[in-house]
Amino acid sequence: MIAKLDSMLLPRKKFLYHYKNVRWARGRHETYLCFVVKKRVGPDSLSFDFGHLRNRNGCHVELLFLRYLSALCPGLCGYGAPGERRVSYSITWFCSWSPCANCSSRLAQFLGRTPNLRLRLFVSRLYFCDMEDSREREGLRLLKKAGVHITVMSYKDFFYCWETFVARQQSKFKPWDDLHQNSVRLARKLNRILQPCETEDLRDAFKLLGL
């Protein structure tokens, strides 16, 4: 049973290489997506599923996930019997890269017509977000508008992923150098991206006034 489950888990080296939140992520030509799916089956009870995916055959991992979604979440999209309610799900993603502009837009569209799905998104690194006017930045704002909570992964998130998705064989999660600093830097960057400009202007104004 353990051995069977192990094959579904991420090898330690793969996780560490692809999720490392280093400034210059040379060679990460793959993106991994670890997910947790929770289904609301009653007023209180939740069922639970988890796993991981990576991009394949030129298909970004987010869109790959959308393809698997109906199998993963029965009753999410179908219309069911007349008068029957759709099933509600909460999904959490932990992605090694944040989504590209196209994936963000496709996701936002999908979520717009699937109000019974809540998506929480943790990312290790920000994908093509250096330019002030990058389409990827715009895409992240679109996702926020679609109700997605986007957060940069911190120590506790890497730790949780290690415990949940990695074939760790009893080994403890060993944070790499600068994990915390990198996470803080990226979180600030993401906040600046998601923050409406007015707030930023106000903050500067307050600073000028010494308030």
Partner DNA sequence: ATTTTCAAT
Q: List the catalytic residues.
A: 62
Stretch that binds DNA, among 56-64, 105-113, 150-158, 185-193 (CB under 7 A): 56-64
Nearer to DNA, 28 or 168 (CB): 28
Task: Indicate left, alpha or beta for 183 from its phi (over 0: left) and psi (-120 to 50: alpha).
Answer: alpha
Task: In angstroms, give the least distance from the CB of 29 to DNA.
Answer: 3
Contact between 24 and DNA per CB under 7 A: yes
Distance between CA atoms of residues 160 and 93, nearest Å: 12
Q: Considering only residues 14, 16, 25, 189, which one is a binding residue for DNA as defined by CB under 7 A? A: 25
Number of residues that bind DNA (CB under 7 A): 25
Task: In angstroms, give the least distance from the CB of 6 to DNA.
Answer: 25
Element (H, E) at 124: strand 117-125
Q: Considering only residues 14, 17, 51, 55, which one is a binding residue for DNA as defined by CB under 7 A? A: 55
Task: In angstroms, give the least distance from the CB of 144 to DNA.
Answer: 16
Nearer to DNA, 39 or 125 (CB): 125
Instruction: Label each residue of 141-209 as H, E or C.
Output: HHHHHCCCEEEECCHHHHHHHHHHHECCCCCCCCCCCCHHHHHHHHHHHHHHHHCCHHHHHHHHHHHHH
Write out the residues near DNA by the rule CB under 7 A.
23-31, 55, 58, 60-62, 95, 97-100, 103, 125-128, 130
